[in-house]
Each structure stands twice: as structure tokens, then as C-alpha cells.
Structure 1
Amino acid sequence: MYRRQRHLYDASRKFYLLGRDRVIADLAVPPGGAVLEIGCGTGRNLVRIARTYPEAACHGLDVSAAMLETAARSVARARLAPRIRLARGDATAFDPQALFGRATFDRIVISYALSMIPPWERVLAEAAGHLAPGGELHVVDFGGQAGLPWPVRALLNRWLAAFSVTPRAHLPEAVAGVAGAAGAHARVNQRFRGYCVHAVIAR
């Protein structure tokens, strides 16, 4: 899918992947902390994270070799290659020690990736398992859209389906369940009338 789309991805997605920059601003990465983005795509978010938190060590994971190729170019253009490491892996089961040389992260970000991964709840659980003590998992993705008028919801979902995107209406409940199983705390904010959800799991 992304062999062609990756070239237009950032220019087009900025109009409807809402809340990404708010999540980055809320990360509050501790000095010298490590950040992992799961489903890092073109590297857009990683570059912004690295610039926002200049002391952070940033890592990106994606299953798409094409997207990682584009991400590597974006990172190189931003002259951030020494601070951003990229690796190919399956978000439902990956070994960060083997991929990045570290087992846990202070902050993990999943931005509009769960809506494209069928076993998305497994991704949540896998990510939470790689949080360092005091770490936080930040998720932003399409929500249940309960506050949007029905015609808007119908049009939006038809558009998203064309790109194999499925909003996760039960994301808040899944986040609460994963947090409970991990002995962590969860907080969830519905934004833009439920258009998107920003959820945090904190250890």
C-alpha cells in the first residue's frame, strides 16, 4: 500500500490525522530518556520528537520496508541520524533488545497505527510490556466519533475504509484493560467530538 502513498503521505495526512502534535507536546520525555514510536511510518513524528526533546534517544519500528526507507531519508535530511534509530519489526511481537539494544523505553508512542493493524489489542499489550518503570505509552487514533453528525461519520468511515483504516471504537476500554493487566494507570481523552482518542498508560 505504501510503496506509492509514502511519497504523499505527510502532505495529505496532516489534514485528518489530528492530535499528533498535541501528543508529542504532552510526552514530557525525561532528560536523557528513550522514546520508541511503533508504526513510525515516514519518520515525521520521530523527527519532531527529536527536535522537541533534544536530549532524548529516539527509536522507530515499522513493518513496512518502504516506509522505513522514506523515514531514513527524512531523518538524514533533518541531520538527526545519530539520535534516531530505525528497525523493521512486527508491532504485535518484537524484541527491542535485539533491534535497538535496550529492553524498555521511557515513552512509547503509537500514532494512528492501531486502526491499520487487525490484532491491534495485541499491539497495545506488547507496547505496555516494554515500558520502563515510570514510563508512559501514548496512543492517538481514530475513535468512535460519537459526537459527530451521522452524515459526517458515514463519509469519514467510507473514506478511511478506502485506505484499510478501521476506527477503534473500543480503544478506551482496551486501554483500561491493558493498563489493569499491567498494574498501570490509564487516562483517556476523547477529542474533536470523538473523532480521535488520546490515551495514556502510565506505569
Structure 2
Amino acid sequence: MSRLTASAEEQNQAMEQYYVLQSKIYDLTRWAFLFGREEIVRRLPLDRSAPQRILEVGCGTGYNLRLLAKRFPKAQITGLDVSGHMISRASQAVQPFGGRVKLEQRPYQLGDMHFNNQMDAVLFSYSLTMINPHWKSLLQQAYEDLKPGGVLAVADFHDSRFPWFKAHMGNNHVRMDAHLSPWIKENFDPVSLTVKPAYGGVWHYFMQIARK
């Protein structure tokens, strides 16, 4: 199965299998290279005193959900992930926030009517580069789920000048060729885009804010 031609169902099955082990070590290892997660939450242009509705797609172990719940104390937050192992970890992480944070184990896909025009913000944090070739349909669904003027926020890998590093990341289901930010800029109203180097420029990551 090619990671660039896999069906959505095959992609979801691959992610579920990948995170059987990874869910156990995710928080112990990802801090070393998932940069920008705290910053993208701080940059969200939302009223912190208002009852916002926020969706995170690919919520993993709940790291970002905790950040969101603390920063937006009146928000109702939903985290989606295809991995039951990650959802199990996330449920422990968000327990202090009670019913303000809801978790759902299911894929996010085009045509989903659960959140149509209801969300003030949709966050993708290090998930889109792992969703191939279906990343575009997820961004299209996010557009449908956002209220008019709602906020799209993305923090993710961007690119690397080293073919060996791209190959290494590809073996871990990650596509790195600066494919996300131009599409977002073209299909949403741009607010901000920041690209930063990691480990002396071995790779770059980006943080992007846009509106519907």
C-alpha cells in the first residue's frame, strides 16, 4: 500500500495500527520535535471570555486539548482521533475539565455533518502531514464546519532540504514538501504564516492562521 495512494479507510487502519505502540511513548518523545503547539494555541484570535466552540482533528493524547481548555475557560472543545489508544490517553489528560472537553474516536472526512457551520475554530496540530493523500478533503471539511469568519489553525511539519530526512519521515507516515500552506492560503482568508527552522535547519515547521 502506497502512503500517497491509500484509500481513506486504509489510511485510518494504518494510523490505528501505528499508534498501538506510539500512544504509550508519545508524550515522552514528541516534545523533542513537535514545535509550535503552545504558540499556535496562544495565537488563536478568539475571545477568551466568550463561550467558543473549538474542534481539534487528530487530538492524540490530549496535549493540545489541555492547552485549549486552560486558555479558553468557557469553550466547549471536541477532540477527534481515529486511534482508540490515543483517545484512551486523551481521556485521562482532559478529565480535570469535565464535560467541557468531549472526545470522539472516528475519522474526520468530507461530507461529515456533525459540526456544519458550528465551530469558532478548527485546529490541526501535526496531523495533516500524516493524512495522505486525503489532507485536502479534511481542510475542505474544516471550511464547512467553521462559522463565517471562523478560524483555521495549523501547526505542522513544513519541509526539509535533506532527501534522507524526508525519506525517514516518510517511513513514519509524514509527508514533508511544503504542500499545506499554499493550499490554505489560496482557499481561506490568510491571517498569518510563520515558518521556523528546527535543529539548525534540518527541517522547518510552520504555524498558520486563516479564516473562513
TM-score range, shorter chain: 0.7 to 0.9
Q: Where does structure 2 lack aligned partners over 5 or more consecutive residues?
A: 1-17
1:152-203 CA distance string (max 9 Å, x none): x345324322321112412122112322xxxx44542222266112122213
Q: TM-score when scaled to structure 2?
A: 0.80
Establish whether residue 140 from structure 1 lines up as the match of residue 159 from structure 2.
no
Alignment equivalent of 1:169, drawn from 153, 178, 190: 178
Identity %: 28
Aligned to 1:191: 196
Maintained 8 Å contact 1:124/1:178: no
Structure 1 unaligned residues grouped into runs of 5+? none
Cα distance in 2 for partners of 1:26, 1:18 equals: 14
CA RMSD of aligned residues (A): 1.9
Cα distance change, pair 21–140 in 1 and its aligned pair in 2 (3 A): same
Asked whether 1:106 is paired with 2:120, we answer: yes
Could you tell me which residue of structure 1 aligns to residue 129 of structure 2? 115
Of 23, 37, 44, the residue aligned with 1:27 is: 44
Q: Which runs of 4+ in 1 moved over 6 A?
A: none
Matched positions, count: 187
Counting only pairs closer than 5 Å after superposition, residues 1-203 of structure 1 correspond to structure 2 as: 1-30=18-47, 31-76=50-95, 79-93=96-110, 94-97=112-115, 103-118=117-132, 119-145=134-160, 150=161, 153-179=162-188, 184-185=189-190, 187-192=192-197, 195-203=204-212
For the Cα contact (< 8 Å) 1:175–1:186, is it kept in 2? Answer: no
Q: Deviations over 1:27-49 (max 9, x none)?
A: 13321111110111111100111
Counterparts in 2 of 1:137 and 1:168: CA distance versus 1, 3 Å: farther
Q: TM-score, structure 1 length as denominator?
A: 0.84
